[in-house]
Amino acid sequence: MEKLPEMSADRSRYRENAVHGTPQFPMKLYTNNFQWYTNHVIDWHWHPELEFAVVLEGSVDVSVNDSVFTVSEGEGFFINSNTMHMERPAEDSPEPLMATVCFMPEFIGDCGGDLIYRRYVAPVVSDPFLRGMKLIPQIGWQSDILAKLREMYAVHGADEWGTELLLRNSVAQMWYVLAVNLRVEPQDTQLRAAAGLSEQRLKTMLSFIQENYSRELTVDEIAASANISRSECFRCFRSMISKKPVAYLNEYRLKAAAELLLGTDMQITEICFACGFGHSSYFGKMFRQYYGVTPKQFRIQSRSLSR
């Protein structure tokens, strides 16, 4: 089983460029070993696919917009379409293992407007208050979804004739359980628009940071990218991901620097300026605070572990 792809080489860390499955079969199953990811974190991102996951070993902290929940072995979670989320190992679980299935909403029903999509898919996908949820085996219908997930991984691993049909049926059965038990009804358009506004603004600002992190940036510029005030910018960051804009910008730059230290032979000073830091001493100080070692030590230690 494949690992869930990290963001593509052009560092689209937020809106994923990766395609889960193919246009002919828009779903994919993955195994997530957190050691494969930079800093052992599947960083903030979103994608049009719906996502279900079950934790196979250890515990995972899942951040969904402005909420965080811990998912332990045997538990799982659901992430709605185009919802910002992040996963990292829980504090006492340094090496969790997680299995994930991602699929496009039209894998269940034709998004052109057939009855199944309009009645059972669109209300869930467009619900601003259902962005993600934890699934636990103690609740009967959620246990059924977790069991179906494990069944899908077993079927996928077999890779026999008819596997695609079995997987499609399993996704439909899993969605049936979710849709019937949540019974999401279409909501007022104005209410939906208001609830999703902060999330959309933050996505715009995160995309702006992604595209411009290598140069000097100000909070005013970040706010202007979403056509909002400085104070509203701070509010969006605080309410959605509990960070200030500059703090998040610096974290993004440090993660970019870590990737360059691992994947290139660039000089540390070059990496400093390539990632938007104006002074090498400040870069070194920030890097050590975040990673616990200097950039040079990080490169040496990481390369020795990969041998």
Q: Where are the domains of the chain?
A: 27-187, 197-306
CA distance 267 to 85: 33
- The closest alpha carbon to 4, from 19, 24, 23, belongs to 19
Residue 144, by phi and psi: left (phi above 0), alpha (psi -120 to 50) or beta? alpha
CA distance 50 to 190: 24
CA distance 38 to 28: 22
Helix H or strand E segment including 56: strand 50-57
CA distance 215 to 142: 46
CATH architecture of 27-187: Sandwich (2.60)
Tokens of 273: 């300026």
305 — pLDDT class (breaks 50, 70, 90):
low
Q: What angle do CA 98, 127, 252 make, to 5 degrees?
A: 50
pLDDT of residue 189: 47
Q: What angle do CA 221, 222, 224 make, to 5 degrees?
A: 60
Half-sphere exposure of 92 (CA within 13 A, CB side): 4
Assessment of whether the complete model's pTM goes beyond 0.85: no
CA distance 295 to 253: 13
What DSSP designation does 184 have?
P
139 — pLDDT class (breaks 50, 70, 90):
very high
Express each pLDDT in 78-87 by its tens digit: 999 999 899 9
Phi, then psi, of 159 in degrees rounded to 5: 50, 50
**pLDDT at residue 215 tops 60:** yes
CA distance 248 to 3: 26
Tokens of 297: 């030590």
Q: In Å, how far are 43, 62, 288 from 272, measured between CA atoms?
A: 21, 30, 13
Of 15 and 159, the one with more pLDDT: 159
Question: Taking the domain 197-306, which CATH number applies?
Answer: 1.10.10.60
